[in-house]
Amino acid sequence: MADADDVRRLALALPHVAEIDSDGFDFRVADKGFVWSYPERRPGAARLIRTDVAVLYVGDEAEKQALLLGEPEVFFTTPAYDGLPLVMLRLARVDVDRLTELVTDAWHMRAPDSLVADLDVGTGPSSPGPSRAEQQVR
């Protein structure tokens, strides 16, 4: 079971990541968000920052749909995210190894190529292994 502390540790272990001041967590690379706390919108009430749910950048609609359809107990979306390459992840439903893969993949998709090379030479989360996108290319 993963939690917000795991997200923070993994995101900050990646090269050139900045944490944005927020009520939860919010991480960016090259000024582009790749993982942050889910700001749940509730009718007639203020937003609730959910640190038990992470919003992940997934790159495109095909990847989003694959995650949503393949693991509906882990990933979800809302109408506010329609058309955006983002999914929500229930942290309690993944282990730290899977979270490492997801956060690293999101970082890869948002980081400029010059920064990706920094991770490929061995910096970042311990033993992240190839990303899902890299595995598909091989």
3-state SS, one letter per residue, for 67-111: HHHHCCCCEECCHHHCCCCEEEEEHHHCCHHHHHHHHHHHHHHHC
pLDDT at 122: 52
Determine the pLDDT at residue 99.
Answer: 98
Q: What are the pLDDT digits (tens) for 36-47?
A: 999 999 889 999
Higher pLDDT, 118 or 5: 5
Average pLDDT over residues 63-77: 97
Which has the closest alpha carbon to 33: 44, 51, 19, 14? 19
Q: How much is the pLDDT for 135?
A: 36
Residues 94-130: pLDDT tens digits? 999 999 999 999 999 999 988 777 665 554 454 444 4
Q: How far apart are CA 20 and CA 26, in angstroms?
A: 5
Query: For residue 42, with 0-12 CB atoms within 10 Å meaning exposed, 13-18 middle and 19 or more buried, which class applies?
Result: exposed
Instruction: Examine the pLDDT at 131 and tell me if it is beyond 70.
Output: no
Asked whether residue 133 carries a pLDDT value surpassing 90, the answer given is no
Per-residue pLDDT of 8-17, as tens digits, reads 999 999 999 9
123 against 67, higher pLDDT: 67
Q: Which tokens belong to 58?
A: 């997934």
The mean of the pLDDT values for the chain is 87
Q: Half-sphere exposure of residue 87, counting CA atoms within 13 Å on the CB side?
A: 26
Amino acid 129: pLDDT: 42
